[in-house]
Structures are given as C-alpha cells and as structure tokens.
Amino acid sequence: MINMIWAMDKNNLVGIDDKIPWHIKEDLLYYKSKTNGQTVLMGDATYYSLKGYYKTKPLPYGKIYVATIDKSLVIDGVEMIYDLNEFLKNNKEELWVVGGATIYKLSLPYADKLYISFVKGEYVGNRYFPTVDFSKYNLIWENDTEKVRYTVFERK
C-alpha cells in the first residue's frame, strides 16, 4: 500500500525551495498523526530540510527511505533508494510518500491513497505538485475546516 500525503494551495503549490510556504498548526498535527512512526519515503532534499527542524532529535518516523540519483550519497540511519521506479514497483510494505515535488511526481502512478490537505488561500513559492487525474480516484473522506480542506482519495 502506497500512501501519499501533502498539502497544497489552490495553485498546487507545495513549497518554496525546500520549505513549506505556510505554517498551519492544525495541518502539521494532522500530518504527524498519519506519519508518526510510519515507514516513509522522501527525497534527499526533503530529508535535509526536515533535519533542519530536527537538529538534535531523530525524525519522527519508523523506517526511512531516502531516494536520490546521487549514487555516492549515503546517509546514516536511512535506507537509500537509487532506482525509485524499481523500488515502488516492487514495494510490499505500507509506505507514506512525504515529498518533495520530484518524489511526488515519480510516485503518483503507484499511489493507492492520496491524503491531500487543500490549504485555503494563495501562497508564494516555486515547488508544485503535478496535476492529479482525479477520475482515477474516489473521494472516501473529507473534513473542511477554516484553513484547510482535508481529503483522502482511493484509487479506483
């Protein structure tokens, strides 16, 4: 089972460089409630961005996979993925894809569930989520709040 989780504004914006362009505490808590202790997949830039927030603490995940095209890159404490398509094609465990933009784009064809936080408003940034063909998914849950519309889509 491959789950993808992300927040985006109305223009599919997900980031500014390697940071989130908004700070919405309720959405951070939602993200943590889904991913804490879970097996996650992220790109190397996302990994280093998160380490900027968790300077002296370990990241709050179970197993961590870091995907990169740099075959010389090795990060202690994580499993490196150098062929993302092969990894996703053969994945047998529950996995949460947590970013960044390139990893989302490459993982989308393999995703079983999409956990999307639609952030209300328009923000400035330079990292965008690819267009999702929602005709391939059913909306199975949503919760609309003042700042975010939370949704879960499942592949048909």
pLDDT tens, residue by residue, 71-105: 999 999 999 999 999 999 999 999 999 999 899 99
Q: What is the pLDDT of residues 31-45, one digit of tens each?
A: 999 999 999 999 999
Question: How many Å apart are CA 81 and CA 142, to the nearest integer?
Answer: 33
| CA angle (62 as vertex; 61, 68 as ends), nearest 5 | 75
Q: Is the pTM of this model over 0.85?
A: yes
Q: Which of 82, 139, 131 is nearest to 109 (CA)?
A: 131
- 43: domain CATH number is 3.40.430.10
Range of the domain at 19: 2-155
What's the number of domains the chain is made of?
Answer: 1
* pLDDT attached to residue 57: 85
pLDDT over threshold 90, residue 135: yes
Question: How many Å apart are CA 74 and CA 119, to the nearest integer?
Answer: 34
For residue 27, give the amino acid letter. D
